Structure 1
Amino acid sequence: MLTIHHLGLSQSERIVWLAEEMELDYAFKRYERRADNRLAPDDYKALHPMGIAPVITDGDLVLGESGAIIDYMVATYPGGEALVPSPGNSDFADHLFWFHFANGTFMTNGMMQLMLTMAEAQNPMPGQFVADRTEKAWAMVEQRLGEAAYFGGAMLSTADIMMGYGLTTARLSRGTSIEAYPNIRAYLQRIGERPAYARAMAKAEPGMPPKLD
């Protein structure tokens, strides 16, 4: 059986959301972060050589990486075809861009910004470089969500599953405000109204309201 191993406050919430959108029968196991350093506990790190979230198991298969897991689940289980525009669909290219932009650029900028904050006192130039890239990325997101209801176009797609975490839970560690981004705020309200998203977040982060504003 498909098992989603969710590390609290991590990118693995994407996989829970996807499973709920696909209405899959799956096993769910939640892991708390360590109290001393906020990293994954030893039993989570033992699941996969990288030792980071997300991870799924499916029979003998152990798979990491958000994009790989999403592609695997959509290709293996029913219900995913509605979340990926076909190559003949006019939204196909936009869907592909935002699906890969999520971790290739958007989340990468955020991680670099977080790490460089600690070193900025010694050399502010790298921090400014990352800040500029981050500002451009958020501006692109805001523009896109003024053009289309979802990242992939007219309908929710796996591009939204990938992008959602960076716009919501990931902001908890960086304190990023979305006050200046009305299109993003409106988009997150649409996401929050989806029953599958509500179910996923109730499982992934029980007792914590989704960060939708």
Structure 2
Amino acid sequence: MLTVHHLGISQSERIVWLCEELGIDYEFKRYQRRSDNALAPDDYKALHPAGTAPIITDGDVTLPESGAIIDYITAKYGDGGLVPSPSSPNFADYLFWYHYSNASFMAVLLAKMMIGEGSADRGALLDDRIERGFAMLEDQLGKSDYLAGNELTAADIMMGFELTTVRAFMPFDLESRPNIRAYIDRIQARPAYQRAMAKAEPEMAG
């Protein structure tokens, strides 16, 4: 049985959303962060040596990392859903946004959160990269409803976390980004997203 181990307020909400979009059977287990340091509890960290969220188990398989998990679930249970075929005209866009989300955009957001009021030079560099990311998103979402065309793909499931939950901890001004704001509204209006958030982050679901 596929089990999604969800750590509260973490990237693992992506996997809950993925499973809801695909309409697959899965078991859901939610873990509360520690009250003393807001880190994952010991039983969550014990699931895999990486000790990070998300993590799934599926029979003898224990797998961390958002991208690896999404690839695993879409390949094994997705029946072709949410992943364009290599012959699709939007395949290259899909690959770019799918990988850019965590490899580049999430990385600079996390770095910015961690340095806080640290080095001005490093802060300026990160601000520039974040701004370029938002500019690319705004441009792309002016061309299509979702990142790889007018249908939701796994690239949107990867990126959605940065534009929704991350903003609770790192607010950013989207007043000049109407395409991104409309995109967030489209994501949050999806029934599968609403079901996922009701399970994963009920305090934020409303």
Matched, 1:177 2:173: yes
Q: Does the Cα contact within 8 Å between 2:74 and 2:81 map onto a contact in 1? A: no
- The residue number in structure 2 matching 1:110 is 109
For 1:41 and 1:176, how far apart are their aligned partners in 2?
A: 29
2:111 is paired with a residue of what secondary structure? helix
- The residue number in structure 2 matching 1:82 is 81
- The residue number in structure 2 matching 1:136 is 132
For 2:20 and 2:39, how far apart are their aligned partners in 1?
A: 26
For 2:78 and 2:96, how far apart are their aligned partners in 1?
A: 24
1:147 is paired with a residue of what secondary structure? coil
Return structure 1 stretches of 4+ with deviation > 6 angstroms. none
What count of residue pairs does the alignment treat as equivalent?
Answer: 206
- The residue number in structure 1 matching 2:196 is 200
Q: Mapping of 1:37-48 within 5 angstroms?
A: 37-48=37-48
State which of 121, 146, 151 in structure 1 corresponds to 2:147: 151
Structure 2 gap segments, 5+ residues each: none
TM-score, normalised via structure 1 length = 0.94
Cα deviation 1:86-107 (Å, max 9, x = unaligned): 1111010000000000001110
TM-score, normalised via structure 2 length = 0.97
State which of 158, 161, 164 in structure 2 corresponds to 1:162: 158
Q: Percent identity?
A: 57
Cα deviation 1:109-161 (Å, max 9, x = unaligned): 1011011115x1xx311111111111111111111111111011121100001
Displacement of 1:38? 1.1
For 1:205 and 1:140, how far apart are their aligned partners in 2?
A: 28
Cα deviation 1:1-21 (Å, max 9, x = unaligned): 000000011000000000001
Displacement of 1:180? 2.1
- The residue number in structure 2 matching 1:125 is 121
Displacement of 1:31? 0.6
Task: Report the residue type matching 2:57 in the other structure.
Answer: T
RMSD: 1.1
For 2:197 and 2:95, how far apart are their aligned partners in 1?
A: 25
Task: Report the residue type matching 1:60 in the other structure.
Answer: D
Structure 1 gap segments, 5+ residues each: none
Matched, 1:65 2:71: no
Cα deviation 1:30-56 (Å, max 9, x = unaligned): 011111111111111111111110000
For 2:171 and 2:112, how far apart are their aligned partners in 1?
A: 12
Task: Report the residue type matching 1:134 in the other structure.
Answer: I
- The residue number in structure 2 matching 1:54 is 54
For 2:127 and 2:63, how far apart are their aligned partners in 1?
A: 32
